[in-house]
């Protein structure tokens, strides 16, 4: 027999059920292709929540590599729309790790997403690097304009007004999204009348210190690619100051530089473990180049390195290591090409004079009684050629 109490709660349950049924969103499809299409449609409409929920369901289903790449990329897009910055980074990095094609649009879209997510986390150096990769991969003028606008937003957030002006000056279409808003902010920050100063025709030139790179960055594999452990604060990391020099190293472990990607990731983790063992906050270098010419992100450029020999020598000093030992063996052609491209990009980006590109032995020689054979005689010889090229450019 139904009591008044059970009757009342039965009515409440029925009302809740009815309410839930009436507000149920469109049913999500069950197979991969339909789910991916559904998510893409939701993201295009700005409905990121349903897209995220549908894509998270796919984690428990089997799918081919192509579908999983697209799924993780879309998940990155959905998380980005929800401002879940770390989750967006994870989605884009997993898509890149699985991707086997060299599709330029995929590179552009994921680089742009990584730039936005890092910008949301205020990781300015990483954001700039990914945005510059997106810029170099953009085919259409509208795509390039959008990247430049986000680069200007990041510069403005750091109060780097001259850099914001330069990025805005490169925008072709003044009607582009947020261009006018940013132009007004730059003008008002200068105390100029609104509408003057930050236009493609009227933008002032950057100071030398803030000029964008003249050379394009090589593709840099992020720390997630080699499963890097997190920075250890007990190692007392120091924030990176404006880079004005760089030091080139070799691994010096007596082993050949690996060309296989899986082997290279093991070397990266071995370097980090060794450096943790010395009490350091992270791997000492900022970039590492393997035998196949892949450039790996080591310590974030947000942090001063631990590679030159002393804290004073590490200050403002970018550390680059080529895997391998180069006393009697010459670096591979792929390593030399990547080292050349990376050094050219960094010297251009930070206006580092060619005289400040040194081997570890040259950097350490300023410390009385300190010496090293690093980066090896053969790599030192190539470094001489590289500096000669930098001097003539």
State the helix-helix crossing angle for 104-120 and 124-137, rounded to 10 degrees: 160
Rounded to whole angstroms, the Cα distance separating 213 from 204 reads: 17
Does the pLDDT of residue 190 top 60, yes or no? no
Lowest mean pLDDT among 119-123, 196-200, 281-285, 368-372: 196-200
Residue 301 φ/ψ, nearest 5 degrees: -70, -5
145, 154 contact by CB (below 8 A): no
pTM above 0.85, yes or no: no
Lowest mean pLDDT among 19-23, 29-33, 388-392: 19-23
Does the pLDDT of residue 239 top 60, yes or no? yes
Does the pLDDT of residue 15 top 60, yes or no? no
More confident residue, 123 or 14: 123
Does the pLDDT of residue 212 top 70, yes or no? no
More confident residue, 335 or 204: 335
Q: Which helix (H) or strand (E) holds 318?
A: strand 317-322
What are the residues facing 268 on neighbouring strands?
none
Residue 250 φ/ψ, nearest 5 degrees: -120, 165
Q: How far is CA 39 from CA 52, 109, 124, 328, in A?
A: 7, 16, 29, 55
**Would you state the pLDDT for residue 258?**
95
Structure tokens at 232: 């250890």
Question: Is the dihedral angle over the CA atoms 250, 252, 253, 257 positive or is it negative?
Answer: positive
Closest CA to 323 of 220, 226, 246, 254: 254
DSSP string covering 233-289? GGG---B-----EEEEEE--SSSPPP-SHHHHHHHHHHHHHHHHHTT-SS-S-SEEE
The single-letter DSSP state of residue 373 is -
Structure tokens at 263: 């082997």
- Averaged pLDDT, 323-328: 94
Question: Is the dihedral angle over the CA atoms 321, 325, 328, 329 positive or is it negative?
Answer: negative
More confident residue, 158 or 217: 158
**Would you state the pLDDT for residue 100?**
79
């Amino acid at each position: 027999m139904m009591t008044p109490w059970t009757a009342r709660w039965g009515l409440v349950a029925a009302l809740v059920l009815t309410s839930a049924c009436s507000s149920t969103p469109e049913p999500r499809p069950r197979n991969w292709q339909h789910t991916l299409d559904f998510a893409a449609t939701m993201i295009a409409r700005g409905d990121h929540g349903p897209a995220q929920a549908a894509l998270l369901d796919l984690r428990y289903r089997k799918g081919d590599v192509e579908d999983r790449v697209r799924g993780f990329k879309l998940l990155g897009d959905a998380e980005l729309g929800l401002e879940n910055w770390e989750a967006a980074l994870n989605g884009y990095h997993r898509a890149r790790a699985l991707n086997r094609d060299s599709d330029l649009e995929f590179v552009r879209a994921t680089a742009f997403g990584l730039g936005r997510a890092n910008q949301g986390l205020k990781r300015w150096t990483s954001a700039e690097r990914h945005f510059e990769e997106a810029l170099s991969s953009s085919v259409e003028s509208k795509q390039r304009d959008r990247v430049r606008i986000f680069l200007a937003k990041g510069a403005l957030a750091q109060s780097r007004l001259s850099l914001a002006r330069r990025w805005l000056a490169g925008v072709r279409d003044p009607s582009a999204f947020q261009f006018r808003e940013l132009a007004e902010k730059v003008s008002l920050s200068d105390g100029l009348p609104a509408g003057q100063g930050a236009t493609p025709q009227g933008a002032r030139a950057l100071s030398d210190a803030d000029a964008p790179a003249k050379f394009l960055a090589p593709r840099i594999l992020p720390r997630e690619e080699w499963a890097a452990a997190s920075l250890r604060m007990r190692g007392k990391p120091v924030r990176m100051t404006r880079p004005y020099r760089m030091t080139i190293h070799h691994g010096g472990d007596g082993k050949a530089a690996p060309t296989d990607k899986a082997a290279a990731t093991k070397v990266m983790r071995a370097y980090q473990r060794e450096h943790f063992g010395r009490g350091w906050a992270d791997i000492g270098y900022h970039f590492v180049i393997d035998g196949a010419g892949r450039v790996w992100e080591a310590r974030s450029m947000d942090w001063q390195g631990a590679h030159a020999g002393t804290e004073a020598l590490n200050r403002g000093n970018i550390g680059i290591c080529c895997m391998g030992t180069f006393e009697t063996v010459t670096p591979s052609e792929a390593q030399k090409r990547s080292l050349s491209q990376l050094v050219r990009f960094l010297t251009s980006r930070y206006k580092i004079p060619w005289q400040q590109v040194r081997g570890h032995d040259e950097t350490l020689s300023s410390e009385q009684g300190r010496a090293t054979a690093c980066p090896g005689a053969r790599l030192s010889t190539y470094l001489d050629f590289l500096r000669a090229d930098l001097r003539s450019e």
